[in-house]
Amino acid sequence: TTGGNALKFYASVRLDIRRIGAIKKGDEVIGSETRCKVVKNKVSPPFKEALFDILYGEGISREGEIIDLGVQHKIVEKSGSWYAYNGDKIGQGKDNVREFLRQNPALAREIENRIRSAVGLKEMQALGEAATSGA
């Protein structure tokens, strides 16, 4: 018998999810920075790693991912704590930029589409286009 190792052998995918930091707004903790490692994967390549923000009451922060991937692919410029897009400063600190992108969904979609084309994914349509192009 396998004893205490049965779940390790039986599982097709095993993830190691750890909190690596807190996201604060002032003194209040509003979420956590999270690292997710693929420990075992029988259905696709194992040993990948992802970093993302989980905001309490919201889930994984889409805007936070846009910011991180934008900086990684040099679409969003980061200088100290300031973030800029196309030469225009969009905020100081990740929290403020996240809020700015929430208030400006067209800009967030534009940045996301540039990221998608940089990594070889299909661009997202604007909300109005999806309804009209289907018929």
Tens of pLDDT, residue by residue over 101-120, are 999 988 999 999 999 988 88
Is the whole model's pTM more than 0.85, yes or no?
Answer: no
CA gap 84, 62 in Å, rounded = 18
Alpha helices (H) in 1-135, listed in sequence order: 6-10, 62-72, 94-103, 105-119, 127-133
* pLDDT score, position 127: 57
Rounded to 5°, the CA angle 12-119-123 comes to: 100
- Give, in degrees to the nearest 5, the angle at Cα 102 between 99 and 103: 90
Using pLDDT thresholds of 50, 70 and 90, give the confidence band for residue 135.
very low
- pLDDT tens profile 25-74: 889 999 999 999 999 999 999 999 999 999 999 999 999 999 999 999 98
Token pair 């704590």 is at which residue? 81
What is the model's pLDDT at position 129? 54
1 and 56 housed in the same domain: yes
Say if 43 falls within a structural domain: yes
- Which pair of structure tokens corresponds to residue 32? 């956590």
Q: Which domain holds residue 112?
A: 61-125
Residue 130 lies in a domain: no
- 6 in a structural domain: yes
Q: Within this chain, do residues 77 and 43 fall inside the same structural domain, yes or no?
A: no
What tokens were used for 52? 């993302």
32 and 69, same domain (yes or no): no
DSSP-assigned states of every residue in 11-34: -SEEEEEEEEEEEEETTEEEEEEE
Query: Domains in the chain: how many in total?
Result: 2
Q: What is the pLDDT of residue 128?
A: 55
Which residue, chain included where needed, has tokens 């190792």? 5
Residues 71 and 120 in one domain: yes
Are 121 and 65 contained in the same domain?
yes
75 and 48 co-located in one domain: no
Asked if residue 135 is part of any domain, the answer here is: no
Residue 132 belongs to a domain: no
Q: State whether 102 and 52 are in the same domain.
A: no
**pLDDT above 80: residue 130:** no
| CATH code of residue 97 | 3.30.250.10
State whether 66 and 121 are in the same domain: yes
